[in-house]
Structure 1
């Protein structure tokens, strides 16, 4: 039986018992909805957190259980964020501080370390277009407050913090930012962000900023002088540099300018799907040659495949994974699904113009999909990617590298 056939034969089932600590906490349960903040209807749990499970044999299940129990599992990009049920509510929902974070769903994911940007790109509390300083600081503060009230996840600030997650049955969140646009022209803000716990930051999002060109720009002028100052400061502080949304020239400039390895936390291979959101071989190879790691993304309408552009499943996502393994080697590949809970595509549509999302997906004709089958949310994404590797008969030592060891190697050298 092929992996694709096994997906077709699975049915949705209720979530597993949490593998991490979870005592029933819901976001902001210390407040009264309607009195302290406006509540919005969220999708039914059985819709957005039920999972497709790849069917494993008994021997394969033993391998999976061993990996989940003893080997660190690192998601280079995922989110606890929950999208409201009604698409018309998305913008007003994101204009308030109190957005839902699904601790129970994360507790069932098996993830030990998660790069989480707290949806800073869609924080529009005070601005019309997001990626502003005040919005990001407010978002960080309110989420840190909520996190302080529970014990499923904790904020990690050092490499040693990351190693505690497996033993404590918690998830170590590595605070990240999607882009450095909020710096404007103030390099000392990098220090402020570090002081507030940020340990990974993208250089640009899809559009250009004062540091360099995003991947949707018609002309990529590369890393600016200010951008070089920021790269230097991030190196000095010990902050991971992410180029997932940078243009090709800017990406190469960042890799060259950085004294330490650079990460592509959530992307794919342009040879598999020709869109700006995917990275060309030149960038992928340069990242690996500098010692970096590339995390494979699974957000809808990103890591598609020319083999079957009318279907987006775990198969097309893992095609990118295998291509990267062949191109850059097993030591430079990781997983960064970039999923959250609820309707991912509805959120993409709501913020399309604001964040140039359609432009980042390219001009190829393809059917838009509501989600990626087998990789709908954090509860199922990392588990199914691991199971897929097991079913493809990858060695345990190689799976260990892809699911966490490669990422931790870079983090140990930077944090």
Structure 2
């Protein structure tokens, strides 16, 4: 039962009059089934419209075959992108009663159907989409930056300005996606005794107004030869976990210490574990491992501060010190300060030191010398300057001997 609306539709889209339509919607699925009279070629009308300063309107047909069996509307209007930046495909059809209706269709589904016909939908996107760069701290102060917990807190990010740039994906004057990108050579990957640095730029976590613009950002970053720290789905850090990865912050250690004192540290998605003794920012997957102040959710062997607070405060983890024997960071509560000997002024585990009553302090066991003082066993160390003498296999402190016999 076809009414005047259908007649107008046929006329507008140039559809053959003897084409019979019986359309239904299968539940809530994006599937519209059309039955055509046998013997006629089946076509779908596509209209592509671009907005902004780059208007482009085109009308063409694609054959209705297996490539688009899930897109059974008579006509589609594709808006690339709309003025609000969101992309839409609207399919027009008639129901079994001849009512003229429309339904939103997934853009990705339409792109696949067109691609099967050799039509690249990307060619119809406006040339106003572009990638721009800006100093990271300035980027967070941009008025047009989409909602972010760090928006307006650019001062916090000055500590990573020497190592990064912010990349903005813009459509016209509107920011659709952003991320900061670590410069070449800024990241060290350490595995056992091997150290290498990144030879290409690496993008940190991407923030976008929607999934389409995130995909566009990823595509354009890759075109620039920029790699990704996070997976494209962004549910976890993408880098190989068989090594430690860190940023050496030594050259700006005074700046970053000021940030800590003033509670003005940035939220950092990837390199957020800071060690104040080695001046390194270590890689840590907060989405997978958590980001509370519970020391078990951090890496106590690496860092004593976590840059994972939205308001600029710093989360302090276990205080760590460098172990001069093993060469790794250990909790300060488990460490012993070395008072004398070749490693004076450093820390190590208690298993590597001895205590001397005579000297009233610790020194490395490997530097120690066992001696007899006042009929008791005690210790001194190499280079102490004490006068010692060996008698029948025992070492004595000369100044403590009452009688000396050769």
TM range (shorter): under 0.3
Which protein is richer in strand relative to its size?
2
TM-score normalized with structure 1 length: 0.21
Return the index of the structure with the highest Cα Rg: 2
TM-score normalized with structure 2 length: 0.22
Which protein is richer in helix relative to its size?
1
